[in-house]
Amino acid sequence: MPKVQLPLIPIRDLVIFPNAVVPISIKRSRSVQALEDALVKEKKVVLVTQKKENVDSPFPEDLYSVGTIASVTQVHRLPDDVITVLVSGEKRVQIIKYAKLEPFFKVEVEEISETYISDPETDSLLHTVVEQFKQCVALGKAVSVETAPAIFDLSDPVRTIDLITFNLDLKTSEKQQLLEALDFRSRLEKISEFLAREISILQAARQIQEKTSEEIGKMAKEAFLREQLKTIEKELGIKEEREEFADLEKQIKAAKMPKDAEERAFKELGRLKKMPPFSPEISYIRTYLDWLVSLPWSKKSESEINIKAAEKTLNEDHYGLNKIKERILEYLAVQKLAGKGRGQIICFAGPPGVGKTSLGKSIAKALGRNFVRMSLGGVRDEAEIRGHRRTYVGALPGRIIQGIKNAGTKNPVFMLDEIDKVGTDFRGDPSSALLEALDPEQNNAFSDHYLEVPFDLSDVMFITTANMLDTIPPALLDRMEVISFPGYTEEEKLHIANDYLLPKQIEAHGLKKSQLKVPEETLKALISRYTREAGVRNLEREIATICRKVAKEIAEDGMKSTKVETTDLKKYLGPTRFESWAIEKKDEVGVAAGLAWTESGGEVLSVEATLMPGKGNLILTGHLGDVMKESATAALSYARSKVSDWKVPEDFYSNKDIHVHVPSGAIPKDGPSAGITMATALISAITKAPVRRELGMTGEITLRGKVLEIGGVKEKVLAAHRAGLTTLLLPKRNEKDLEEIPAKTRKDIKFYFVETMDEVLNHALTHSPTSN
Ligand code: ADP
């Protein structure tokens, strides 16, 4: 090739290879002038790289001596006198000499001829280089879309090699070396070396990128999911639920549970947090935790037993009951001296309305403790006392723990009503669970099936109540200190009505004391004609009715005040309900008054007997219990054995049936104490000797006509007094019980203590059966 002279443009940091199409920016004035020169001629320039890129006005010695001839294909003149030129490399040239230095370099160059000589080694090297380059591209090396096909088109190996070289990520000086390297083999070797380096760099970069993108991916995923969760939670209001966890945690800490209970609570809370929001178990765990945190594990009323103050409170709230109050104070004194964990369980036994509950409340008030009440009526299942295991759907703690929760403190006065109504059946014996809860010696770690952690009940003061003692499970009765409430006399009721019930009801109905006056006479009539009970519950109810009606009159009719006279009772309460047993009734044949003891105190029962044609059968009616039926049979046997003494045909029973009936079907009747009453009614019916109307009796009968001791004397005598009986026959052995009867009542009644049926008949019948 002939030597040509061409304008030279120095390039700071690029090596232009043949076949490369590259945009370059030209700003230096020498370069601009060189370009201008080229543009007006054959548009060719020599591009030579500077040895040091930061030299602004390079001299020939600052430039490499091998460069590239390129043709200028496009020219863009930008503001700031910058010209962007697209140059297309054509041939390698060796600068022979600088023909001109001013105003721009013009050089004489000689083309370096390159011929690729194919031999297996060079070919395989070329192949390796191309593969390496492919790998680079695969690893993410950026190659312009236009050059890629040309690189991989191996029809012109020189072009391929130049393009690869141009696209290598090399320092300028390294590229220049490759531009100058004339031997293909050694050039390919160098390229391969550089490519290997680039591959490892790219691989490392990719690894780093993968790792980071994995990391980033993970983070992005999490962030994304979190965002989604937030939206879902917002939609469903679960957010608040999560906030509640924090709340629960606070509550657990605030409940100050014993260590094992607290650990348990936190464990359950942990489970709760992990549950998916819609798990059905969530509500069970929540309920459980709610129970745990709401129990008064360490909340106590400040309570000190002050016997004097307690006595004052009990007296203020209750009339009479002196013996009972004394026993309560004794009990409290023992508690005070011996400390907790001592003593018996108290049981208040007596008919309804005698003040058992209100006395319990008074005790709580006197001790400055909370009061709770829980009925045990109808409890047949151990689980009702001790709770159901949590595996049951709808499981709850038992009544003891429920009561403690209601109390809100761990040392309340806890009244368990109707302990005599606790039953036993196949579901387990509630009485043993009750004993475990009540017994001060073993209740410091009461285990409720639902709670699963023990609760200390030793600070609780338990008071049980019962109407009768017979049905209390013996194991329980054995551990209880029974305090009996026998019922009130009319006199006592009058005091209670006057001093307690009336003022209480006047206040409860929003009245003033001055607005309602009920004289004693009226109260007496109210007690005897409108109520017949051992306690004062109905009496209180009737007084409340009067107060209500008077309040209405005052509010509606503008009345200032009222005085309720005996005659007004009909207006307020309707016709009288009870009449004295003996009033306006004459002595009758075959009817005797017996005294019974029931849950509601004493009762007067009339026993009727009659003879009718038949075959000697004994018919018993009136819901009699087995024991009572047996005593009727015994009474009849006795009567038959005595028939010869009386003016009665000896075979009277062979053509007669005997019917014994005890009216008032609703009252459960059992027990042996009606024995002498049934015998009296029978013998009266057989002998036609009438029974004294004003006389009542109670006592068990033997076949030989002996009268045996019975129980519940006080209740029975009070009931007889209420009913207006004036003479009573009691077994001789019960004479000692008369002490318990208020003197006033004793004075009103004539007592006869009997040992035999003959004595009974002597007193009861108006005339002797033998003297008809
Ligand atoms: P129980 O629990 O025995 O069925 P309560 O305690 O409910 O009876 O008593 C019924 C009502 O009679 C209550 O209002 C109570 O205050 C009142 N009461 C009973 N006995 C007396 C008493 N001795 N003094 C004053 N009020 C009494």
CA of 702 to the centre of ligand 1 (A): 40
Query: Is residue 661 within 6 Å of ligand 1 at its C-beta?
Result: no
Q: What is the pLDDT of residue 772?
A: 47
Return the HEC string of 314-381: HHHHCCCCHHHHHHHHHHHHHHHHHCCCCCCEEEEECCCCCCHHHHHHHHHHHHCCCEEEEECCCCCC
Query: Is residue 18 within 6 Å of ligand 1 at its C-beta?
Result: no
Residue nearest to atom 26 of ligand 1 (CA): 318
Scan for tokens 């409108």, then name that residue.
Answer: 530
What's the pLDDT band for 734 if we cut at 50, 70, 90? very high
Q: What is the pLDDT of residue 238?
A: 59
- Under DSSP, the state recorded for 113 is P
Q: What is the pLDDT of residue 568?
A: 87
More confident residue, 515 or 2: 515
Task: Measure the CA–CA gap between 342 and 604, rounded to whole angstroms.
Answer: 41
Atom of ligand 1 nearest to the CA of 536: 12
Residue tagged active-site, from 716, 736, 744, 747: 716
Given a cut of 70, whether residue 581 has pLDDT beyond it is no
What average pLDDT does range 698-718 have in this prediction? Answer: 90
More confident residue, 143 or 703: 703
Structural contact between residues 329 and 311, judged by C-beta atoms closer than 8 angstroms: yes
Nearest to 165 by CA among 144, 153, 185, 151: 151
Q: What is the pLDDT of residue 584?
A: 47
Query: Is residue 536 within 6 Å of ligand 1 at its C-beta?
Result: yes
Query: Is residue 523 within 6 Å of ligand 1 at its C-beta?
Result: no
Least confident of 258-262, 590-594, 601-605: 601-605
Q: What is the pLDDT of residue 424?
A: 64
Given a cut of 50, whether residue 754 has pLDDT beyond it is yes
What average pLDDT does range 236-250 have in this prediction? Answer: 74
Task: Measure the CA–CA gap between 408 and 627, rounded to whole angstroms.
Answer: 47
Looking at mean pLDDT, say which of 144-158, 228-242, 311-325 comes out highest: 311-325
Structural contact between residues 522 and 546, judged by C-beta atoms closer than 8 angstroms: no
Residue tagged active-site, from 410, 673, 684, 714: 673
pLDDT per residue as tens digits for the range 445-481: 898 999 899 999 988 889 999 988 888 888 888 888 8
Task: Measure the CA–CA gap between 714 and 716, rounded to whole angstroms.
Answer: 5
User: How is 632-652 classified by DSSP, letter by letter?
Assistant: HHHHHHHHHHHGGGTTS-TTT
- Count of Cβ atoms closer than 10 Å to residue 342 Cβ: 11
CA of 619 to the centre of ligand 1 (A): 42
Query: Is residue 357 within 6 Å of ligand 1 at its C-beta?
Result: yes
More confident residue, 276 or 341: 276
Nearest to 549 by CA among 524, 571, 576, 530: 571
Task: Measure the CA–CA gap between 518 and 524, rounded to whole angstroms.
Answer: 10
Given a cut of 70, whether residue 342 has pLDDT beyond it is no
Task: Measure the CA–CA gap between 45 and 4, rounded to whole angstroms.
Answer: 11
Residue nearest to atom 10 of ligand 1 (CA): 353
pLDDT per residue as tens digits for the range 680-689: 999 999 888 9
Q: What is the mean pLDDT of the chain?
A: 85
What's the pLDDT band for 503 if we cut at 50, 70, 90? very high
580 is catalytic: no
Q: What is the pLDDT of residue 426?
A: 61
In 94-183, which ranges are continuous DSSP H helix? 120-138, 147-152, 157-167, 172-180
Least confident of 5-19, 213-227, 489-503: 213-227
CA of 246 to the centre of ligand 1 (A): 47
What pairs with residue 468 in β-bridges?
A: none
What average pLDDT does range 345-371 have in this prediction? Answer: 90
Looking at mean pLDDT, say which of 3-7, 391-395, 489-493, 705-709 comes out highest: 705-709
Atom of ligand 1 nearest to the CA of 350: 3
User: How is 258-316 classified by DSSP, letter by letter?
Assistant: -HHHHHHHHHHHHHHHHS-TT-THHHHHHHHHHHHHHS-SS--------HHHHHHHHHH
More confident residue, 230 or 271: 271
pLDDT per residue as tens digits for the range 646-658: 877 777 778 888 9
* Mutational pocket test of ligand 1: of 315, 317, 321, 358, the residue with most ligand atoms within 8 Å of the beta carbon: 358
Nearest to 447 by CA among 312, 264, 619: 264
Task: Measure the CA–CA gap between 30 and 81, rounded to whole angstroms.
Answer: 13
Given a cut of 80, whether residue 675 has pLDDT beyond it is yes
Residue nearest to atom 9 of ligand 1 (CA): 355
* Mutational pocket test of ligand 1: of 354, 527, 540, 543, the residue with most ligand atoms within 8 Å of the beta carbon: 354
Structural contact between residues 718 and 487, judged by C-beta atoms closer than 8 angstroms: yes
More confident residue, 323 or 221: 323
What's the pLDDT band for 343 if we cut at 50, 70, 90? low
CA of 520 to the centre of ligand 1 (A): 19
673 is catalytic: yes
CA of 490 to the centre of ligand 1 (A): 15
Query: Is residue 500 within 6 Å of ligand 1 at its C-beta?
Result: yes
Nearest to 563 by CA among 494, 500, 514, 507: 514
CA of 172 to the centre of ligand 1 (A): 112
Q: What is the pLDDT of residue 239?
A: 58
Query: Is residue 321 within 6 Å of ligand 1 at its C-beta?
Result: yes
What pairs with residue 82 in β-bridges?
A: 78
Residue nearest to atom 24 of ligand 1 (CA): 318
Name the token pair of 134.
């492919």
Query: Is residue 355 within 6 Å of ligand 1 at its C-beta?
Result: yes
Atom of ligand 1 nearest to the CA of 348: 3
Q: What is the pLDDT of residue 236?
A: 63
